[in-house]
Chains A and B, each alone.
Chain A
Amino acid sequence: MPQVLDNLLCLKDKFLLFTLINRNVKLRYRRSFLGYLWTIFVPLMSAAIYFFLFSIILKVKTEHYSAYLITGVLTWNFFSVSISQGMSSILSSRPLLTKVKVNIAVFPLSTMFSNFFTLILSFPIIILSCVISDVPIGINSLFYFYFIFILSVIAYEIAFTLSNALIYIRDLQQVISPILQIWFYATPILYQASALPEKYKWVLFLNPIGMIFDGIHKTLLQNTLPSFENIFVPFVWLSITTAMAVTTSSKLSPNIIEKM
């Protein structure tokens, strides 16, 4: 396996990766009373707000809307938190990195994994919401895991690239939250892709995760097979983000510590 991929996947640093994930998971809610419930509680609260806003005030008529919201918001939450936390993970480990030689990719990767752990813990909620709102769960629902896999790889590669870029351009720290906000609305989470007007359909293709969320809707919530675009487009984006991460790893990463 080429050196770059070895570095990106932290194959030589498995124990460190595991220890860091363990640290992130343990520390996040140490000394809080509700502990891990918060990770599920907060996105559920925003799902409830969206439900009230769109279903009760604006009277959007979508079948199983609450299940769409809960699945979408929890999955999006994993993606956006992995990116925003992962982006600052290298910079915040600066005191360590100037003392010991460490593969810097472990920081964004461990951030992604610890958020993935949170997502796993929220699976029961997703399933429960599907059961309650009578979603026809079937064999096609298993595609959800396929989409989650692609989504986590894209999240990690974007986080890795941004965490390196942040060392050179500190403005990213401010820019990331409005970007994620736009990204959220450009992704079929609050609405279904089929509801997009024809002239805005391109957004789905231009958004690296648009087709992934559409695929989750089709498979998990409608129990139908994903379309060709749902499988193919994320793959194209996956190769673009991989190319980005590989370039970053070979061009930017070696000089990062001196630039900090």
Chain B
Amino acid sequence: MKKNVISVTNLEKKFSYTTDKPNNLKSILIQLLNKKYKQWNRKTITVLNNISFDISEGEFVGVMGRNGAGKTTLLCLLTGIFRPTSGTISIKEKIAPMISLGAGFNPEMSGYENIFLNSAILGFGRQQVLSKVDNIIEFSELKDKIHMPVKKYSSGMTVRLGFSIAAHLDAKIMLLDEIFGVGDVGFAKKCINKILQLHKEKNRTIVLINHSPDTVAKYCSRCIVLEKGHKLFDGDPKEGAQKYRSLFK
């Protein structure tokens, strides 16, 4: 029996917002006087509803679904950025999120300095970064450009560095949000191989959001399909890919 690293039970996430609520005092006062405030309707949208699943160590889970099905929200909930409206999430190992690569980069600082900043933001310690910094630079293929300020980087260079950092730090769980469009074809392939290598050799648990049913069918060991905030399918990736395709028919 493999141990569970992520377990989600009856997860529900709602966002609330108000329509036509004025955002400054003057118009609030005017509307209060006119008794228009009843029209500010507070609306809630349910982004995720009654989602439950367990992911055990070493699984490679692909998450698919239409735009707005709640995939990224699910990932944000797993990383702990959002708190669930109801239900529970328990995470047993350290997470490396790759939701947006290079999110914490400071444009004024060099790539080298940003390796330390970004790793610190992802929650790793100094020793671990020091021991990995050479591998990170090598993998990113930035060579001596690593000492250039990040604002001079091309977008491809930035994501390459971002990916290298997140991939080299020892997190047992990796969350990837549509990152296979990283860089050119050569680097994208290198990224997939790196992730597969981490998955196989180090038994990392990987949750991947992807829009390509072929990629999911090819690499993942399991597939979850979301539709309008519900879990539509959970199981074999080939079947899941079929299910995902059938959403568009």
Contacts and interface: CB of A to CB of B under 8 A. Distances in A.
Interface of A: 13, 15-16, 18-20, 23, 26-27, 30, 95-102, 254-255, 257-258
B45 interface: no
Contact of B99 (A99, A102, A257): A99
B82 A257 contact: yes
A16 B120 contact: yes
Contacts of A95: 103
B15 A258 contact: yes
8 closest A-B pairs by CB: A99-B103, A16-B120, A19-B120, A101-B80, A99-B100, A96-B104, A15-B126, A101-B79
B116 interface: yes
B123 to A, nearest CB: 7
A99 B83 contact: no
Interface of B: 15, 76, 79-83, 97, 99-100, 103-104, 106, 108-109, 113, 116-117, 120-126
A169 B81 CA distance: 21
In this complex, the member of B83, B100, B121 whose beta carbon has the largest number of chain A beta carbons within 10 angstroms is B121
Contact of B117 (A19, A97, A99, A255): A19
A98 B81 contact: yes
B83 A16 contact: no
Contacts of B120: 13, 15-16, 18-20
> Chain B interface mostly helix, strand, loop or mixed?
loop
B82 A100 contact: no
Contacts of B108: 27, 30
In this complex, the member of A20, A23, A97, A100 whose beta carbon has the largest number of chain B beta carbons within 10 angstroms is A100
Nearest to A257: B81
Nearest to B103: A99
B182 to A, nearest CB: 16
Given A23-B117, A255-B83, 20 more contacts: A15-B126, A19-B117, A19-B120, A20-B120, A26-B109, A27-B106, A96-B104, A97-B81, A98-B76, A99-B81, A99-B99, A99-B100, A99-B103, A100-B97, A100-B122, A101-B79, A101-B81, A102-B121, A102-B123, A257-B82
Contacts of A100: 79, 81, 97, 99, 103-104, 121-122
B103 A258 contact: no
B103 A23 contact: no
A30 B113 CA distance: 14
A257 B15 CA distance: 12
Contact of A258 (B82, B100, B123, B125): B82
Nearest to A99: B103
Contacts of A13: 120, 123
B121 A254 contact: no
A95 B102 CA distance: 11
A30 B117 CA distance: 17
Contacts of A19: 116-117, 120
A169 to B, nearest CB: 11
Nearest to B177: A99
Contacts of B121: 16, 96, 100, 102
Nearest to B106: A23
25 contacts: A15-B126, A19-B116, A20-B120, A23-B113, A26-B113, A27-B109, A96-B104, A96-B121, A97-B81, A98-B76, A98-B81, A99-B81, A99-B97, A99-B99, A99-B103, A99-B104, A100-B99, A100-B122, A101-B123, A102-B121, A102-B123, A254-B83, A258-B15, A258-B82, A258-B83
Contacts of A255: 83
In this complex, the member of B79, B80, B104 whose beta carbon has the largest number of chain A beta carbons within 10 angstroms is B104
Nearest to A98: B81
A99 B80 CA distance: 10
A97 B81 CA distance: 8
Contacts of B126: 15, 18
A101 B122 CA distance: 8
Given A23-B109, A255-B83, A16 B123 contact: yes
A31 to B, nearest CB: 9
Contact of A15 (B15, B106, B113, B125): B125
B75 to A, nearest CB: 10
